[in-house]
Amino acid sequence: MARSRRSHVAAGLRGSTALIASFFGLTGIASADIRLPAIFSEHAVFQRSEKVPIWGWADPGEEVFVTLGAIAGKTAADTAGKWRIDLDLRQAGAGPFDLVARGKNEVTVGDVVVGEVWLCVGQSNMEMRLGGTQDAKEVIAQTNNPSLRHFRVERNSVAAPADDVVGKWVTATPLGAHEFTAVGFYFGQALQNALHAPVGLVHSSWGGSLAESWMSEEALQSDEVVKKHVANLRNRNATSTQSPPPSRTPSALFNGMVSPLIPYAIVGAIWYQGESNVGAGQGAVYPQLLTTLIRDWRNRWKRDLPFYICQLPNFQAKPTSPGLPSLWAEFREGQTKFLDTPHTAQAILIDTGEEGTVHPRNKKDVGERLARIALAKDYGQAVVFSGPVFQSAAVEEGKIRLKFTHTEGGLIAKPLPRTYQPLSIKPDTVPLMRNSPKSELEGFVVCGEDHKWVWADAQIEGNDVLVWSAQVAHPVATRYSWANNPTCNLYNAAGLPAAPFRTDKPPLNVPESAD
């Protein structure tokens, strides 16, 4: 749903002393122990929303009064000493404001702004800081954007849901930008450029983590497929001579790094995770894991959170033969199946990876592609958010005709370079070997009824693609970008790459051929 944007409101919106005094009706209050979670701290970003929860702790039964500028609310702590107030910030200016919580004592949080808040979750490629990425030195030096803010949740793996996290808000200045998740930085920057509003990134990630570690115990037990899968995982962990690391312990990171953030008001989540699961060969179960995770998170936040994932990028050596088995290709297919869940989408990254590392340094394209999705789906902006997506295939006169959705502006064959860098931190380049050197499009293979795959020629015809090979008189199936690190060049005019796909189903997978 698109959101209207309002201009900043003058400092008077912080509220007058008279108004606050009238609302509280209190003077000479003795000191007590009102406390706020760490996320309600200096430089925080609050979501512009009808219901923005503010919560904390006080003495049981203690009356608590909260103001953000001229907006106020009150409640009383329950018998456990917990309290919550929901503020309506739809009409609030951007700020900055002071957040004040007062009971027997007073807590003031300065420099709070109101805008758009997103949760950034995942493993090492989400965890990677801006300072370690491509062109980082120049980007950080030129960044002076105090309305773009980042809250990094410190690592915490626990057996039961925690009450709070450790972390702090920082602003996107040369002193603070290097701490940002790089994916989140470019995502937030693109949102801010389009929306002209403050953007907050709540960042919770742990390198090497499994998806299962980001799921609550209730979620792990709520689905029969997931329940069986996790039971097997735990059995393997129990029979091992070593305990699993915290990042691979089911529910541990949810308990320590997500649960304490709920119900902080957010628009949705961006997710870059899966490298650990693909290594365990979990392409088949991964869609069910993600579907179960997001259903549980939506129930806990009590809203239909948008959830946008990063499809795993290209990685490892380029294929030398067609039709080789590929765990990464199968895993990407599993990620695509997750999109059957409403209000989800994925950023295709098949052209952003590196042969020599699972941690590619190009995070700009990643963040900006995720931002395109959010701008189109959540803010009603007319931007192209997806590359071509396979729709249907038909055999005609010895060729396979492919149709696609998301062909906005038409299909294009992006020129391929003569060389590439296997590792971006090293200047060394190697020749890019063409598998179909006379073809307009690279990345296609085709097979006949014998199920033997060969490199295919392919060309664009309108909004379709024709695929064929002189070696296959009667083709039955084709694949595109079906490899760990394919060479591929099908895009739409918006410069977004086509998603990898195969027209065959798993029975056609056996036997695979390297001929």
**Segment 311-337, tens digit of pLDDT:** 999 999 999 999 999 999 999 999 999
How confident is the model over 72-92, as pLDDT tens digits? Answer: 999 999 999 999 999 999 999
Chain segment 121-146, per-residue pLDDT in tens: 999 999 999 999 999 999 999 999 99
Query: In degrees, to the nearest 5, what angle opens at C-alpha 269 toward C-alphas 268 and 272?
Result: 165
Contacts of 462 (CB under 8 A, 6+ apart): none
How many CA atoms, within 13 angstroms, populate the side-chain half-sphere of residue 48?
Answer: 22
What integer is the mean pLDDT of 472-493? 98
Task: Quote the pTM value.
Answer: 0.92
Question: Would you place residue 242 in the very low, low, confident or very high pLDDT band (cuts 50, 70, 90)?
Answer: confident
- Residues 274-291 have pLDDT tens digits of 999 998 778 899 999 999
Residue 7 CB partners (closer than 8 Å, separation 6+): 93, 94
Residue 500 has pLDDT above 50, yes or no: yes
Instruction: Give dist(CA 388, CA 393) in Å, integer.
Output: 14
How far is residue 118 from each of residues 23, 202, 305, 381, 425, measured CA to CA in Å?
32, 6, 10, 18, 30
pLDDT of residue 86: 98
Q: CA-to-CA distance for 4 and 380, rounded, in angstroms?
A: 10
pLDDT at 469: 98
pLDDT tens column, 446-466: 999 999 999 999 999 999 999
Tokens (6 digits) for 371: 């931002």
d(CA 240, CA 368): 42
Question: Which pair of tokens denotes residue 287?
Answer: 């869609």
- For residues 430 and 342, what is the distance between their CA atoms, to the nearest angstrom? 42
Q: Which amino acid is at 90?
A: R
Residues sharing a CB contact under 8 Å with residue 234, sequence separation 6 or more, in sequence order: 250
Q: Count H helices, E strands: the chain?
A: 11, 25
In DSSP terms, 52 is beta-bridged to 87
**Does pLDDT of 12 surpass 80?**
no
Q: How high does pLDDT run on average in the chain?
A: 92
* 206 DSSP assignment: -
Q: What is the predicted pLDDT for the residue at 507? A: 53
pLDDT mean over 415-420: 96
Closest-CA residue to 323 (of 479, 442, 434): 479
The amino acid that residue 235 corresponds to is N
Structure tokens at 188: 């937030």
Q: In angstroms, what is the C-alpha Rg of the chain?
A: 25
**Measured distance CA(487)–CA(55) in Å, rounded:** 51
Residue-wise pLDDT for 367-386, tens only, equals: 999 999 999 999 999 999 99
Map tokens 């970003």 to a residue.
45
User: What percent of the chain stands above pLDDT 90?
Assistant: 88
The pLDDT of residue 25 is above 60: no
pLDDT of residue 63: 97
